[in-house]
Structure 1
Amino acid sequence: METKIKQSLWADRKFLWLVFSVAIVAIFEFLSLAGWQLPTRVALPFFATVVLGIGYRTIWHGLRALARLNFRSIQLLMVIAVGGAFYLGEYPEAAVVIVLFTLGERLEAFGIERSKSALQALVERTPKTATVKSLEAEVSVDQIKVGDILVVKPSDMIAMDGEIVSGFSSVDESTITGEPLPKDKHEGDSVFAGTLNMHGYLEVRVKKAAKDSTLSKIIDTTFNATKAKADTQKFIETFSKYYTPAILFIAVLMIAVPTLMFGESFEPWFRESLTLLVIACPCALVISTPISIYSAIGNASARGALIKGGKYIEALGRVKVVAVDKTRTLTYGRPKVTDVVPFGERTREHLLACAAGIEIYSEHPLAVSITEAAKGENIPFHRAENFLAVLGKGAKADCVVCYDRAHLIGKLPFIREEHAVGEEVINRVDALQREGKTSMVISADGQVEGIIAVTDELKPESKVAVAELRGLGVECVMLTGDHHAPAQAIADAVDIREVRAELLPEDKATAIRDLTAKYGPVAMVGDGVNDA
């Protein structure tokens, strides 16, 4: 990620020109301080070209401010400083002033543009049209009304918030809830814009207009947040409104008092006042804040954290509690086999081989976790045929290796629909569920052969990060859209003492307000738009 960020920065042509210009004017500035200068006939056009080529926008805004007698403009002070430097023959100084000022503005703008880019990519991927059943045609989401019935086919992105009126499917809601596994959806269940219909055919009654959808609200909130400026930025803008007129007033006094009151010569005091204007140009002050903010944003981005503006960088220093998402923040967001529990005479290897042979025909994340576990242990898959996926429940298939050919694999309720299940199996599934694990039961010929349990894989650095934050006096609270059992299991593993589970984005916003009222400033750490 760090390499990608650097490439995007160095691909910016204006930034490259600014860096090149800084290097050039810095060389001439050092030579000037050492006593070597270009001849005036060469220096004047050369540095004038640099100033106009790099800082033409600043000069234009400064001249407009002068025409409007807006003496509070920082660009006006820059123009006067540059003009004064040329009058004094300090051409390299004029170039340094304008180049550094322009570089600071470019760095600030680039940081904000990059902060918006990840969210903008999601906006561009969201569906712009949807199929309305009554019209049998695709219609722009802006024209779809509340109450319209949308047709959502397998692998389609759901375009509007709504309620399922027909069909059932698995829906990937990770963009909204952060939950890693697709969620089974039936008639009467709610679905969200920006989520992915995995397998089944759905008809969805629209409950909210496009502009009011959950995803739209998240996007609007995040874009509005990027406009918030840091307190330091606000201070500098306020400061410049008073600083610029004050410096100009002092410069005028330096000319007026000696010449009008004491009869001094105009020329030397005019030069002194110009020197003051050049020296007083707040180049370091102007560039310090954007560079500091840009560096912080860049370092955080290189480590996978998106910071929306300087305001939030300053706020980090006051944080008392960090609210953390679970999926893909504390965990990798992918299921991993943790338990293989055979029953009867079956072995672990037999159970994995048979289950993997069936699940190889499925693209469900749970199925992939089983096949990956078998591959990782170098267990050859049993060959299966007549595979049949039962949406939202499991799968059926015939294993050509096993004596009992007909197999079932899936959730416990699915197995119990087909045949009776012993108390030992039910108790073991309940125990695994209390540990935050998802269980899949494998049966053949009316007998349970075993259980395979999976859970979201914990990142090894998560526990260390929580401990280091606590060492800094900052507590962690988990806010997640996942179910309470797996959330609590992860919290126990990393020593997080407070957990709030099964939260939608608006619920997380409410939780943040509650935590802020209880503890003070709160930071939220998450992996995507649902946490933004």
Structure 2
Amino acid sequence: MKLPIQDNEFLFLLSSVTIVIVLEVLSIIGLHIPQPYAPFVFAAFIIGIGHGVLLNGIKAIFKLKFSSINLLMTIAVVAAFYLEEYPEAAVVIVLYVLGERLEDIGLENSKLALNQLVSIAPKTAFVKSENKNVPVNAIAVGTIIQVKPGEMIPLDGKIISGETTVDEAAITGEPIPKDKHQGAILFAGTLNKDGFVEMETTTLSTDTTFAKIIRLTFEAAASRSDTQKFIQRFSQFYTPIIIAMAVLIFAVPVFILQLDFDLWLKQAITLLVIACPCALVISTPVAIYAAIGNASAKGALVKGGKYIEAMAKIKAIALDKTRTITYGTPIVSDIFPLNGTSRGELLACTAGTEFFSEHPLAQAIVTASRAEGFEPHKAESFKSIMGKGATAKCLVCTDKTVFVGKLEFIREYHEISEDAEKIVEKLATEGKTSVVVSFGQGVDGIIGLTDAIKPDSVTAIKELQALNIELIMLTGDSEKAAHYVANSIGIKKVYGDLLPEHKSEKMSALLKEYGSVAMVGDGINDAPALASSTVGIAMGAAGSDTAIETANIALMNDKLCLIPLLIRLSKKTLLRIKTNTIGAIAVKMVFIALAFMGYGNLVFAIAADVGVTLIVILLSLNLMRFENK
């Protein structure tokens, strides 16, 4: 834990604590500040360091607010001063104030990742038309701004000239910089590494993805978890009970059993000090802040502490297929040259025809052809037949007319061989799309395309299954395509051909079956299911307003493998909170029992209270370093 040593107030507090403890130790071994100076010296420390606590305690007395921790500490200090235990009275107040400051430091450190987001946000941008830096909040959508190498990108937009490499770790948590060319999307708060670019802004400063992350993350920090709410409610009842117990531990021995007044007053004070619920109150928020900060640093935006708790209790996860398990863009997976056609000729001729089309399947074939070293053949007379296919005349292959499209489209012009029928059928059973090609004499080749599975999807699925999470696929894609992808990655339960409302209905059924169910989707057509699930998780949320607004957790870097990490982190966080709480209560019970037996020691009680608080803070902050092992 980093302490703010540059903070003069904190240095003064540490110095005061050191002096008071030294004076207390000297007092224990028989070296005292002589009278009449002792009460004034220690009163100076008490008032100088603890005036805020004492004032709040006095206010609580007048308001009859017996749940106030400050009231508890004020009673302890006044009673210790009455007993002429001046060093103990000073130690009580300065260590309590130190504990309070350490709690603040714990929260500040656990929110460090969030504060860093704010600190790196650019405040101005260089506007080309004005040839000067302008505050980002005064820049309109559509403004051309310039970004030099090494500068932070100030607003969301797209490159209109230049190329560069951009570090997007602040948005996605992805450590590897991405190459950006003309037309590429840029996010505010990311770092322009090595190129000069001009970009056109697409959002206002208040609407950038970066601004939304900052706003939602701080809202998440303010959104209390169920455990945190319970602890705070508990402390409201706990403090009055402790005050009542302290009154009993003093009144019964003194007024009923006629035992020593000062001894049992000291035991009552000891009870008040050790019972202070600092460690209990601080254990949950520091742990939750640390977990949210850890997740944010890795590219997962968690919208509240309650979702950290909810992830730890998830029994099943429903996943969309497209853009969640798969990339959502088609790639060529199979190439079947037929009728004596070579692989190169099939690809180059088909790509030459598809070159004129903007359809994703067509562009995938062009990309595949170039990737294998076959430049698309020049063609002319391109004609698209809606929903069926396209034709064009190849200028390289002796003016061949190329027919490209569905099997039924080719059948309208040429006979289809049995081999071609079987290939198309086989590709269909694998959930793949067939593009049938003819050069004028039957079928000359078939190209199979599929939606490629993300490399980390298989790993993520295995990790989730190892955590005993039931996995279900809910997709709007065809049953065949859904089953093929599901079988490839090991998912057993599959529901295909689902419209958005059908996904929501399935989610309701899954909630009844499993109790706690997360939904993972791209945040667009999955919005109803995301909203109705226990925890909605949006994939690839960078730049997607719908995903960021709808989901409870947004994975900014499009990585499915973050979900097992979130589940493990959530389980670790809940375990840490329980451990902290049980440990703090155990220490308090020991000292409370000693106080009831008349063996309570005020100095040890103070040391134990501050020590437990510090341990709780350190253990909670350690969640910032949690990794998915």
TM-score normalised by length of structure 1: 0.59
Cα offset, 1:493, TM superposition: 0.8
Query: What SS class does the counterpart of residue 89 from structure 1 fall into?
Result: helix
2:424 aligned with 1:422: no
Cα offset, 1:406, TM superposition: 3.7
Q: What's 1:184 paired with?
A: none
* Structure exhibiting the larger radius of gyration computed from Cα positions: 2
Identify if the C-alpha distance between structure 1 residues 64 and 108 changes in structure 2 by more than 3 Å, giving closer, same or farther: farther
Cα offset, 1:353, TM superposition: 2.0
Cα offset, 1:33, TM superposition: 8.4
Aligned equivalent of 1:35, options 6, 22, 25: 22
Query: What SS class does the counterpart of residue 35 from structure 1 fall into?
Result: helix
Cα deviation digits, residues 405-453 of structure 1 (max 9, x gap):
4434334455456x24514434422321210112223334475432222
Identify if the C-alpha distance between structure 1 residues 231 and 108 changes in structure 2 by more than 3 Å, giving closer, same or farther: farther
The code of the aligned residue for 2:397 comes to C
The code of the aligned residue for 1:345 comes to G
Identify if the C-alpha distance between structure 1 residues 283 and 227 changes in structure 2 by more than 3 Å, giving closer, same or farther: closer
For 2:400 and 2:112, the matched residues in 1 are separated by 62
For 1:30 and 1:85, the matched residues in 2 are separated by 15
For 1:416 and 1:25, the matched residues in 2 are separated by 89
Aligned equivalent of 2:100, options 94, 98, 101: 98
Q: Residue 111 of structure 2 contacts residue 289 of structure 2 at CA under 8 Å; is this kept in 1?
A: no
The code of the aligned residue for 2:366 comes to T
For 2:409 and 2:11, the matched residues in 1 are separated by 73
Query: What SS class does the counterpart of residue 399 from structure 2 fall into?
Result: coil
Cα offset, 1:323, TM superposition: 2.6
Q: Residue 85 of structure 1 contacts residue 94 of structure 1 at CA under 8 Å; is this kept in 2?
A: no
Cα offset, 1:317, TM superposition: 4.5
Q: What's 1:449 paired with?
A: 444
Cα offset, 1:338, TM superposition: 0.4
For 2:366 and 2:289, the matched residues in 1 are separated by 44
Q: Residue 57 of structure 2 contacts residue 70 of structure 2 at CA under 8 Å; is this kept in 1?
A: yes
Cα deviation digits, residues 191-246 of structure 1 (max 9, x gap):
xxxxxxxxxxxxxxxxxxxxxxxxxxxxxxxxx99998644234313322311211
Q: Residue 336 of structure 2 contacts residue 445 of structure 2 at CA under 8 Å; is this kept in 1?
A: yes
Cα offset, 1:510, TM superposition: 2.7
TM-score normalised by length of structure 2: 0.51
Identify if the C-alpha distance between structure 1 residues 22 and 380 changes in structure 2 by more than 3 Å, giving closer, same or farther: farther
The code of the aligned residue for 2:90 comes to G
Cα offset, 1:517, TM superposition: 3.6
Ranges in structure 1 where 5+ consecutive residues have no aligned partner? 1-14, 53-57, 115-223
Cα deviation digits, residues 360-392 of structure 1 (max 9, x gap):
444433233223322332322222345555555
Q: What's 1:292 paired with?
A: 287
Identify if the C-alpha distance between structure 1 residues 426 and 93 changes in structure 2 by more than 3 Å, giving closer, same or farther: same
The code of the aligned residue for 1:374 comes to S
Q: What's 1:459 paired with?
A: 454
For 1:294 and 1:336, the matched residues in 2 are separated by 42
Aligned equivalent of 2:228, options 230, 233, 239: 233
Aligned equivalent of 2:237, options 234, 242, 260: 242
Cα offset, 1:346, TM superposition: 1.8
Q: Residue 235 of structure 2 contacts residue 281 of structure 2 at CA under 8 Å; is this kept in 1?
A: no
Query: What SS class does the counterpart of residue 241 from structure 2 fall into?
Result: helix
Q: What's 1:219 paired with?
A: none
Q: What's 1:339 paired with?
A: 334
Identify if the C-alpha distance between structure 1 residues 528 and 103 changes in structure 2 by more than 3 Å, giving closer, same or farther: farther
2:69 aligned with 1:77: yes
Identify if the C-alpha distance between structure 1 residues 35 and 104 changes in structure 2 by more than 3 Å, giving closer, same or farther: same
For 2:274 and 2:95, the matched residues in 1 are separated by 10
Query: What SS class does the counterpart of residue 335 from structure 1 fall into?
Result: strand
Aligned equivalent of 1:365, options 348, 360, 364: 360
Cα deviation digits, residues 160-200 of structure 1 (max 9, x gap):
xxxxxxxxxxxxxxxxxxxxxxxxxxxxxxxxxxxxxxxxx
Cα offset, 1:490, TM superposition: 0.9
Q: What's 1:321 paired with?
A: 316
Cα offset, 1:341, TM superposition: 1.7
Q: Residue 111 of structure 2 contacts residue 290 of structure 2 at CA under 8 Å; is this kept in 1?
A: no
Cα deviation digits, residues 275-329 of structure 1 (max 9, x gap):
6544433222112112323334444455555544444444445444333332333
Cα deviation digits, residues 238-257 of structure 1 (max 9, x gap):
32231121123334456666
Identify if the C-alpha distance between structure 1 residues 506 and 321 changes in structure 2 by more than 3 Å, giving closer, same or farther: same
For 2:10 and 2:72, the matched residues in 1 are separated by 24
For 2:312 and 2:431, the matched residues in 1 are separated by 34
Instruction: Out of 451-460 and 364-373, give the one that drifted further.
Output: 364-373
Identity %: 41
2:371 aligned with 1:376: yes
The code of the aligned residue for 2:245 comes to I
Q: What's 2:434 paired with?
A: 439
RMSD over aligned CA atoms reads 4.8
Instruction: Out of 82-91 and 436-445, give the one that drifted further.
Output: 82-91
Q: Residue 478 of structure 1 contacts residue 491 of structure 1 at CA under 8 Å; is this kept in 2?
A: yes
For 1:61 and 1:336, the matched residues in 2 are separated by 68
Q: Residue 327 of structure 2 contacts residue 454 of structure 2 at CA under 8 Å; is this kept in 1?
A: yes
Query: What SS class does the counterpart of residue 404 from structure 1 fall into?
Result: coil
Query: What SS class does the counterpart of residue 22 from structure 2 fall into?
Result: coil
Identify if the C-alpha distance between structure 1 residues 335 and 246 changes in structure 2 by more than 3 Å, giving closer, same or farther: same
Identify if the C-alpha distance between structure 1 residues 507 and 354 changes in structure 2 by more than 3 Å, giving closer, same or farther: same
Aligned equivalent of 1:400, options 387, 395, 416: 395
Q: What's 1:524 paired with?
A: 519
